[in-house]
């Protein structure tokens, strides 16, 4: 097996990620896996997703007059989509511009809140007989691709299973790093 270097940002953001993960009762190693997969620990990571705009936001009255590049993009360490902060039922978020997701504390809070919500949802999913999928696996698939194509009762295999496996592999590498410390 090839040696994989953990991105340098791991050491810089480790304490903050551990702290915020604990606030949401999340496994910090799981959050590290998401951060590594999504941004390689780059708080300035940005990705415009035009297909998401065309499919979900373009016709939505709440978004259609906004700049697609700002509202249909993923930001920061956990690559949170801006529309997430408008739709996560936290009223104060309606005043946050999308670029605030580049601020590690803000992006991690929103991303961890979303991941915690998905884990709760995943714990209620029914996995088809003879198939194996943990709530973490289901939640990770939904984190990357939404609940729709990642509900095991409706879709098997899960649409974003590859993503979930990649995050879990990164979590295993991070676990070894924690064991050394």
DSSP 8-state assignment for residue 54: I
Fold (topology level) of 9-180: Lysozyme (1.10.530)
pLDDT at 66: 85
Per-residue pLDDT tens over the stretch 30-67: 999 999 999 999 999 999 999 989 988 899 888 888 89
Q: Could you tell me the residue ranges of all domains in the chain? A: 9-180
Per-residue pLDDT tens over the stretch 71-94: 899 999 999 988 776 665 444 545
- Rg (Cα) of the chain, in Å, rounded? 16
pLDDT at position 108 over 50: yes
Give residue 3's pLDDT band: very low, low, confident or very high (50, 70, 90): low
* Rounded Cα–Cα distance for residues 99 and 140 (Å): 24
82 vs 174, which has greater pLDDT?
A: 174
Lowest mean pLDDT among 15-29, 91-105, 122-136: 91-105
Host H or E run for residue 46: strand 46-48
144 within 8 A of 117, measured Cβ to Cβ: no
pLDDT at 95: 61
* Rounded Cα–Cα distance for residues 160 and 140 (Å): 8
pLDDT at 86: 62
Per-residue pLDDT tens over the stretch 122-171: 999 988 888 889 999 999 999 998 888 888 888 888 888 999 999 999 99
149 within 8 A of 155, measured Cβ to Cβ: yes
107 within 8 A of 76, measured Cβ to Cβ: yes
Query: For the whole model, what pTM was predicted?
Result: 0.91
Give residue 181's pLDDT band: very low, low, confident or very high (50, 70, 90): low
User: In sequence order, what are the residues at sequence separation of 6 or more whose Cβ sits closer than 8 angstroms to the Cβ of residue 69?
Assistant: 48
* Rounded Cα–Cα distance for residues 122 and 151 (Å): 8
pLDDT at position 1 over 60: no
Separation in Å, CA 36 to CA 30, 68, 129, 138: 10, 26, 32, 18
Tokens of 107: 């992006």
DSSP 8-state assignment for residue 58: T
């Amino acid at each position: 097996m090839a040696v994989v270097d953990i991105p340098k940002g791991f050491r810089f953001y480790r304490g903050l990620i551990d702290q915020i993960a604990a606030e949401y009762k999340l496994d910090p190693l799981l959050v590290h896996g998401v951060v590594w997969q999504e941004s390689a620990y780059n708080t300035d990571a940005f990705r415009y997703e035009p297909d998401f705009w065309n499919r979900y936001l373009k016709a939505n009255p709440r978004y259609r007059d906004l700049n697609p590049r700002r509202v249909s993009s993923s930001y920061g360490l956990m690559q949170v989509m801006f529309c997430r902060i408008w739709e996560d039922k936290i009223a104060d978020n309606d005043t946050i511009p999308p670029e605030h997701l580049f601020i590690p504390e803000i992006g991690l809070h929103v991303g961890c809140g979303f991941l915690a919500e998905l884990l709760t949802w995943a714990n209620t999913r029914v996995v088809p007989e003879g198939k194996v999928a943990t709530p973490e696996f289901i939640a990770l698939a939904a984190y990357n691709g939404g609940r729709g194509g990642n509900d095991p009762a409706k879709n098997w295999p899960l649409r974003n299973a590859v993503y979930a496996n990649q995050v879990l592999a990164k979590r295993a590498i991070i676990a070894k790093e924690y064991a050394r410390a």
